[in-house]
């Protein structure tokens, strides 16, 4: 997995929108193979980043704080 993506489920605070967006960008870069997509692919790339960020926000909001464990 991409080592620059950090754990966003934090015990002491909620991840910021910026942290979530940065992680989503790193994930999409990794799986697409593009650091910066071509103009032809920019729209799809940006949409994927938004979708990953939204899914991440939903996941983090739905996880129970009572079951915090060390990340794998």
Task: Write out 15-58 in H/E/C secondary structure.
Answer: CCHHHHHHHHHHHHHHHHCCCCCCHHHHHHHHHHHHHHHHHHHH
pLDDT of the residue at 2: 53
Global pTM value: 0.79
pLDDT digits (tens, 9 = 90+) for 35-70: 999 999 999 999 999 999 999 999 999 987 655 555
Task: Report d(CA 47, CA 35) in Å as an integer.
Answer: 15
pLDDT band (50, 70, 90) for residue 12: confident
47 contacts 30 by C-beta, under 8 angstroms = no
């Amino acid at each position: 997995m991409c080592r620059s993506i950090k754990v966003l489920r934090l015990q002491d605070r909620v991840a910021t929108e910026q942290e979530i967006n940065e992680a989503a960008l790193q994930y999409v870069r990794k799986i697409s193979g593009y650091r910066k997509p071509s103009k032809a692919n920019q729209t799809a790339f940006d949409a994927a980043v938004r979708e990953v960020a939204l899914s991440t926000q939903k996941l983090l909001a739905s996880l129970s704080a009572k079951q915090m464990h060390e990340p794998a």
